[in-house]
A and B are shown apart, each in its own frame.
Chain A
Amino acid sequence: MTIPRFWREIPIRYNLMGSKCPLCGTVFFPPKEICKICRRVSIDQMIHEKLSGRGTILTHTTVHEAPTDFESQVPYYLAIIELDEGPSVLGQIADCTNGDLAIGKRVHSVFRRVSEDGVSGTIHYGYKFVLDHSR
């Protein structure tokens, strides 16, 4: 990941900054410039909406074959989480084992190291999730 791209996305990665359409109330994450329901009339109207990080597991999977940057973490756990504000997000579930995960379980976001640009490059911090009752 390039440094400018990571830097631009810091509010999204650190604080789950999404956007909200003031016309219909739909929340988007990652943030959208245009509401996909209201379309043209929503241009320049979208507002920042920080998400609570609370949500429910819709589906989950265990990753055994990972991209190079994530190899040291296998097996790790990915889930699609329906956030309480509406949008769904793909995220890693930390501090758990496969047996802990189940559809419908509640999670909340935490601040973790997501990846790094080798041993001398920048560290990419961001959100992951943990199960509500384990942590």
Chain B
Amino acid sequence: MNSGIVSYGAYIPFYRIDPESIGRQWGRNGADVGKALGVKMKSVPAQDEDAATMAVEASRCALKRAGIHPQDIGAIFVGSESHPYAVKPTATIVGEALEATPGLMAADMEFACKAGTAGMQNSMGLVMSKMVKYALAIGTDTAQGAPGNALEYTAAAGAAAFIIGLENTIATINHTVSFTTDTPDFWRRGGMKYPSHGGRFTGQPAYFRHVVSCGKELFSLAGTAPEDYQFAVFHQPNSKFPSKAGKMLGFSQQQLSEGLIVKEIGNTYSAASMIGLASVLDNANPGDRILLVSYGSGAGADGFDITVTPGIETFRKGINKTIREWISNYQLVDYGTYAKNLKKYKMEGE
């Protein structure tokens, strides 16, 4: 029996910064950088938000929408590269805040931007083997780029939570497949505040090779072709990469547009492809087929072949805030506020 998505929820912080404001700080034409990346603005967490708080908000939303009792959640996986503690699992904080403790398996996942979808795959295994009734997979990040670095224009904050189960699904996960190699395109050594990346190396041998290979592998496993899908969602570090990967796999811009949210909120790392999937589910109809391929530097891609069930129609009545609504509700901040919120300043005594 296939497992599927029983519910989902998301969280996007209230604040945004635009590329112009970032460029102005570093003597660059931010508008041109933004245009080249296809990013109009990026989300900025409030001072009191982090990967744990956003994970809690997204998960509470998912539980509420499906009316699931938190004690029925048997496993929580929190995927992030910005866990608030180096040692102390974010999943314990989330579990307690959801009242899903103590009969609970909880673990933090780490695989750059695909740690959340890795949690979805783990959840599927536990649910299908009937070790747990429901499992919760979360992608959450308050991503950081070093001041002045190109990553600063896109590194954003957000979270998405998916509850995986066998019954009452709103979408069936027909197949999942991963493509993994040792490719050093982006990394952060222990104790370092900001990540490093391999410049142009992040494109062809990293993102495109993994995403496209994983997509093709999924086609062959599912016996499908691009035209069988109404929607395709890819990891979206900027607008260019997912558009190009989609094209390489044979998808049209129309199949991609609903899941492409990076233009409005930037790259939310572990949450990026999952918020894209949430946006698609906000608008999908029973029978629609969705292809999802995440990407995590280091490197790997997780592919999912998903079919929307009739359950989506009653589920949708419980949605109080769509991804489009989260996106359109914001306030712009200046570079100083953004730097303060992301603790880029070293304070007295630190």
Contact = CB atoms under 8 A, between A and B. Distances in A.
B28 interface: no
Nearest to B345: A72
B313 interface: no
A135 B53 contact: no
Given A10-B96, A123-B84, A128 B48 contact: yes
Given A73-B47, A125-B52, A128-B48, A15 B14 contact: no
B46 A111 contact: no
**Centre residue among B46, B56, B99 by max chain A CB count within 10 A:** B46
B329 A113 contact: no
Contact of B49 (A10, A14, A15, A112): A112
A15 B99 contact: yes
A113 B347 CA distance: 18
Given A72-B340, A111-B97, A113-B53, A119 B48 contact: no
Q: Per DSSP, are chain B's interface residues mostly helix, strand or loop, or mixed?
A: loop
A135 B96 contact: no
Interface string A95-111: 10000000000000011
A47 interface: no
A15 B347 CA distance: 32
A111 B57 contact: yes
A113 B50 contact: yes
B166 interface: no
A108 to B, nearest CB: 11
Contacts of B340: 72
B93 interface: yes
Contacts of A119: 350
A111 B99 contact: no
Given A15-B99, A94-B48, A111-B57, A125 B93 contact: yes
Contacts, number: 46
Kindly state the interface size class of chain B when it binds its partner. 20 to 34
A113 B56 CA distance: 12
Nearest to B99: A15
A111 B47 contact: no
A128 B57 CA distance: 12
B347 A72 contact: yes
A134 B46 CA distance: 14
Contacts of B347: 72
A109 to B, nearest CB: 10
Nearest to A123: B84
Contacts of A95: 14-15, 46
A14 B97 contact: yes
B46 A72 contact: no
Contacts of A72: 47, 340, 347
Contacts of B85: 123
A115 to B, nearest CB: 9
B245 to A, nearest CB: 34
Nearest to B56: A111
A91 to B, nearest CB: 12
5 contacts: A14-B97, A72-B340, A110-B53, A112-B46, A114-B48
Given A95-B15, A111-B60, A119-B350, 8 more contacts: A94-B46, A94-B48, A111-B53, A111-B97, A113-B48, A123-B52, A123-B84, A135-B329
Top 4 closest pairs, chain A to chain B, by CB? A112-B48, A111-B56, A113-B48, A95-B14
